[in-house]
Chain A
């Protein structure tokens, strides 16, 4: 299952539906862009009228026509019109800016929220084959690219197209021959752009590849920091880095320089066209075909189309990446969600903690991993699950919490099928502690309290004490208020595991699941933890997955899993007596020790 990508049509449809709440503002903004561009296109025309008027008057004055003077009243009237146009343009541009920003940023806010909520509704299965980095980049890079493209490119592109239409119309109104010369710029620009981009594309790819290499070197050198300083290899590292860095510098220089050629080459076309138009225009003025004002206006129009021409070629990259991003965003929003709840759910009260797997069948794909799993756990039992890697230990727990649904058979808690319970109330029965600890950015206190968000401070501290992590927390710089972050390097994996156990204890669940939860904790502490846990979990059901068999000896029930099926079950003693798989597993861990 790869990343689903929405078609362009669906993307636009999706985007429009997200923009719906802001449609009034967006439409007003678009209308304002039309007004802005209209006013912008009329400016040179009106300015030209002043010039023409002045030229006429000037010629009259030069020719010493009696009473000749500048017609201030006419000039004033035109200036008033011009002032009106300027104001209209400025005001409409400001309105566009404000309304469009509101609409776009509002839409982006909704889109981000939608993605976050989507994450919560997707089945856990989805995350098995979608790397987090990918998903994360949807919310950051893709939404950002879309936001930037809408914010900048939308106005520019839409405005640019309008400029083209308006300006070309105005040009044609002035003079057709001059227009032909001016419009020659367009095909030439396209050819130049295509040619240069063809070259620079390759250089950019090379730059990207070198950047990857640079990144790899940096990551490696910083990751191996300990080794480098211990072995005194700083100078070697610097040399290696400088070498890649030098290549990076050259690659980006080439890419930058070649792509910077587009603008001057297009400008050359524009300059030459202007020169040509000026010569031709002046001749036309002499012949009386056009006025000086019109000539001035026409030249201004050429400058005006030059601007969007070079900026659209720059923006095309932005627009392309925005479309690619949109495809990924809406592709994800289209993904199938978790199966809906039973319409008449059963809510359990006073759960005793009886867990039953009845003829459970399950597989992550078409192929079944579990064929017929039967487990019967009595309330208050401690159940240990053992078996080699990949035997399906974690899968059993995933099924119990309904991260996945069974493909056959049923799982029942106190006799009720878990599919008949609302997910929330099912999950409220459990505390889950995983090997990969999950702590979020916040204080130690907040992280423990995550287990039960209305817990009092003393309850939090009590839970930390039970998890044997209280002393450790006290050694931190701000004790319970110490902020944890992704780079929390003075917290070891074992300490993190203890914090998550404290959180689970605080929740005070009916059923506790420890999935290799103490794998990074030393054996003595693990034993102490288990004793504490037994006190907390007295009369409540618990499941423990562990690879150190020494830690689960006193479980009430040990399930031995292999290839997804339960091959043996019983207590430690009964399983040893059986001299089966468990006995072998147990001795393989301890036999070596004796020889030591």
Chain B
């Protein structure tokens, strides 16, 4: 709730107009019964038909004013709710741009998408209800109270006495419904998840004969969901008849008191009719108010999820007085140990090595041995848990993130391309890259030929998810993107895997002159890709299992030998 109020602050004038226009609505809804009661009191009893016509015209006037008020209400409400939603979305998006990898993993991409999109939408819907209908109830009760208090204090007290009852009711229902609604929402998520799992795992489930088990799992959750929905719907829809009944009792009370007053000749019948009308309209607005209950719990959950994004803070911080970083001469891992936030055992333990400008270091090892994690430490996706990584002798945490990352050309295993032309995607690496630069980089990355074969060449569109280029093409485009930047540290995370052996070889040959003044780090599965690296680091279960050149490792590292043997024949090894 605080979140919503915070965002509404920027629209004070619209909110004010919004409340004002609610009064416009109340004027029509309550003014018309007042006038009608006047017609009965004055016109009927005095049999004054001119007065009747006159009042009828006033009713028409008030109708128009009231309707204009309601239209203004619709305008303000739509403006405020859409603007607030826009502001929330902008802030969420901006916040997420400052996230670190740890935060990204903690939330998960799909959950962040939902938060930016659906959760903000929920808040918009809720704001609409609040601004349009929920405000009506207090205003209507307030207005009818003031309308009656002048003419008859006792009767107005009866109307006023319904307020605490309704407030109490609202409070109680809110209190009981919100935990149920949360449980229901969570249960729905689980239910969907189980069903999705049932769909995606259809073959596995059948092959394990776990059909009955799955049905049982589903039914258990389904039953729980049904129970929560039942309680929730019952609670929500009971509010309306009960609130209505309270109003009904007030009506009876008014009749009772009014009868006595009429008897004592202190009240006119028209006034009584007006009273009953006020009550009736207050009742209708209470009915509308009940929809707030339907919306509130969902909106509260959404607001909390958005708040969680704002409250999350990055562990990867810029130093207060960053050092200048110009040319990179050396990169050192000094006894680096890394444990994932809340991990049980270290993923990397006591890793040390040094690479100088112009050298290549390669990492090889089994699935899960920590290769990708290791190279992810260089651009500070995560910070080391122990030990340090140094560039030019200084800890990388002493440089600014922007500076550090601008020196790195990182090509990940799963290349991600954006919508737009191929050239746009390459320019992502360097905004003002000339056409020559782009073509040159694409030639080095062995992408030039296939780009030329596309109907629009460099202007060919990449569609969403880059489904119109193959995996190998994607890798080559992302290598081009990194090359055009002229970085001083190249990091290739298994980014040659989708290339065939011949292209792989040509690419590495073309890369050599390009990277002679840079540090190159390669993660690979294929021995052939890394054979001629200056240093090869063999990782096994997070520890260094061997370090040296291809020849040295073949002789003294059994794991490296096993890897090599699993891919190349003895003859090929000897040849190398």
Cross-chain contact B70 with A263 (CB below 8 angstroms) = yes
Q: How far is the CA of A62 from the CA of B365 in the complex (A)?
A: 105
Q: In the complex where A70-B263, A79-B256 touch, is A248 in contact with B230 (Cβ < 8 A)?
A: no
Partner among A89, A279, A440 whose Cβ is within 8 Å of the Cβ of B241: A89
Q: In the complex where A116-B198, A120-B214, A249-B82 touch, is A296 in contact with B276 (Cβ < 8 A)?
A: yes
Partner among B36, B124, B206, B230 whose Cβ is within 8 Å of the Cβ of A427: B206
Partner among A87, A120, A475, A477 whose Cβ is within 8 Å of the Cβ of B211: A120
Q: How far is the CA of A229 from the CA of B402 in the complex (A)?
A: 9
Stretch at the interface among B40-48, B168-176, B298-306, B350-358: B40-48
* A241 contacts the other chain (CB 8 A): yes
Q: Which residues of A contact B248 (CB under 8 A)?
A: 86, 89-90
Interface string of A197-233 (1 = CB under 8 A from B): 0000000000000000011101111111111111111
* B83 contacts the other chain (CB 8 A): yes
* A18 contacts the other chain (CB 8 A): no
Which residue of the partner chain B has the closest CB to A265? B67
Chain B residues touching A, range:
35 or more
Q: How far is the CA of A238 from the CA of B238 in the complex (A)?
A: 46
Q: Which residues of B contact A520 (CB under 8 A)?
A: 367
Cross-chain contact B218 with A430 (CB below 8 angstroms) = no
Say how far B302's CB is from chain A's closest CB, in angstroms. 16
Stretch at the interface among A103-111, A371-379, A410-418: A103-111
Cross-chain contact B59 with A401 (CB below 8 angstroms) = no
Q: In the complex where A238-B94, A595-B502 touch, is A231 in contact with B251 (Cβ < 8 A)?
A: no
The total of interchain contacts (Cβ-Cβ below 8 angstroms) comes to 438
Cross-chain contact A275 with B59 (CB below 8 angstroms) = yes
Stretch at the interface among B105-113, B432-440, B447-455: B105-113
Say how far B275's CB is from chain A's closest CB, in angstroms. 11
Q: Which residues of A contact B105 (CB under 8 A)?
A: 487, 489-490
Within 8 A of A (CB), among B210-255: 210-211, 213-215, 218-219, 222-223, 225-226, 229-230, 233-234, 237-238, 240-242, 244-245, 248-249, 251-252, 255
18 A-B pairs with CB atoms under 8 Å apart are A55-B269, A97-B241, A98-B238, A116-B195, A119-B199, A147-B229, A229-B405, A246-B86, A249-B86, A257-B75, A257-B78, A282-B49, A427-B208, A428-B209, A440-B201, A485-B108, A498-B367, A593-B568
Stretch at the interface among A135-143, A161-169, A329-337: A135-143
9 nearest CB pairs, A to B? A592-B501, A260-B74, A487-B108, A494-B367, A271-B63, A275-B59, A264-B70, A256-B78, A93-B241
Q: Which residues of A contact B284 (CB under 8 A)?
A: 303, 307
Partner among A75, A119, A283, A495 whose Cβ is within 8 Å of the Cβ of B202: A119
* A112 contacts the other chain (CB 8 A): yes
Interface string of B391-432 (1 = CB under 8 A from A): 000000000001001101010100010110000000011000
Cross-chain contact B197 with A440 (CB below 8 angstroms) = yes
* B297 contacts the other chain (CB 8 A): no
Which residue of the partner chain A has the closest CB to B199? A132
Cross-chain contact A477 with B344 (CB below 8 angstroms) = yes
Q: How far is the CA of A286 from the CA of B36 in the complex (A)?
A: 14
Which residue of the partner chain B has the closest CB to A494? B367
Which residue of the partner chain A has the closest CB to B71? A264
Q: In the complex where A427-B209, A489-B108 touch, is A230 in contact with B82 (Cβ < 8 A)?
A: no
* B165 contacts the other chain (CB 8 A): no
Cross-chain contact B566 with A268 (CB below 8 angstroms) = no
* B196 contacts the other chain (CB 8 A): yes
Within 8 A of A (CB), among B190-206: 190-206
* B273 contacts the other chain (CB 8 A): yes
* B480 contacts the other chain (CB 8 A): no
Within 8 A of A (CB), among B335-370: 340, 342-347, 365-368
Partner among A140, A215, A238, A256 whose Cβ is within 8 Å of the Cβ of B192: A140
Q: How far is the CA of A438 from the CA of B202 in the complex (A)?
A: 9
Q: How far is the CA of A47 from the CA of B275 in the complex (A)?
A: 12
Say how far A69's CB is from chain B's closest CB, in angstroms. 6
Q: Which residues of A contact B313 (CB under 8 A)?
A: none
Say how far A215's CB is from chain B's closest CB, in angstroms. 6
Which residue of the partner chain A has the closest CB to B53? A279
Say how far A3's CB is from chain B's closest CB, in angstroms. 15
Q: Which residues of B contact A581 (CB under 8 A)?
A: none
Q: Which residues of A contact B504 (CB under 8 A)?
A: 596
Partner among A58, A278, A423 whose Cβ is within 8 Å of the Cβ of B59: A278
* A576 contacts the other chain (CB 8 A): no
Q: Which residues of B contact A267 (CB under 8 A)?
A: 28, 66-67, 70
Partner among A120, A219, A231, A521 whose Cβ is within 8 Å of the Cβ of B113: A219
Stretch at the interface among A347-355, A385-393, A523-531, A557-565: A523-531
* B268 contacts the other chain (CB 8 A): yes
Say how far B566's CB is from chain A's closest CB, in angstroms. 4
Q: How far is the CA of A28 from the CA of B346 in the complex (A)?
A: 64
Cross-chain contact A227 with B269 (CB below 8 angstroms) = no
Cross-chain contact B195 with A136 (CB below 8 angstroms) = yes
* A50 contacts the other chain (CB 8 A): yes
Cross-chain contact A231 with B428 (CB below 8 angstroms) = yes
* A113 contacts the other chain (CB 8 A): yes
Q: In the complex where A401-B206, A475-B542, A595-B502 touch, is A487 in contact with B110 (Cβ < 8 A)?
A: yes
Cross-chain contact A286 with B464 (CB below 8 angstroms) = no
For B94, B225, B226, the residue with the greatest tally of chain A CB atoms inside 10 Å of its CB is B226
Within 8 A of B (CB), among A286-305: 286, 292, 295-296, 299-300, 303
Say how far B104's CB is from chain A's closest CB, in angstroms. 6
Say how far B235's CB is from chain A's closest CB, in angstroms. 10
Q: Which residues of B contact A120 (CB under 8 A)?
A: 198, 205-206, 211, 214-215
* B470 contacts the other chain (CB 8 A): no
Q: How far is the CA of A62 from the CA of B196 in the complex (A)?
A: 77
Partner among A109, A124, A472 whose Cβ is within 8 Å of the Cβ of B222: A109
Cross-chain contact B344 with A596 (CB below 8 angstroms) = no
Q: How far is the CA of A558 from the CA of B99 in the complex (A)?
A: 51
* B374 contacts the other chain (CB 8 A): no
Q: How far is the CA of A451 from the CA of B241 in the complex (A)?
A: 53
Cross-chain contact B113 with A434 (CB below 8 angstroms) = no
Partner among A101, A230, A450 whose Cβ is within 8 Å of the Cβ of B237: A101
* A396 contacts the other chain (CB 8 A): no
Q: Which residues of A contact B346 (CB under 8 A)?
A: 475
Q: In the complex where A54-B258, A93-B241, A476-B343 touch, is A268 in contact with B63 (Cβ < 8 A)?
A: yes
Cross-chain contact B86 with A424 (CB below 8 angstroms) = no
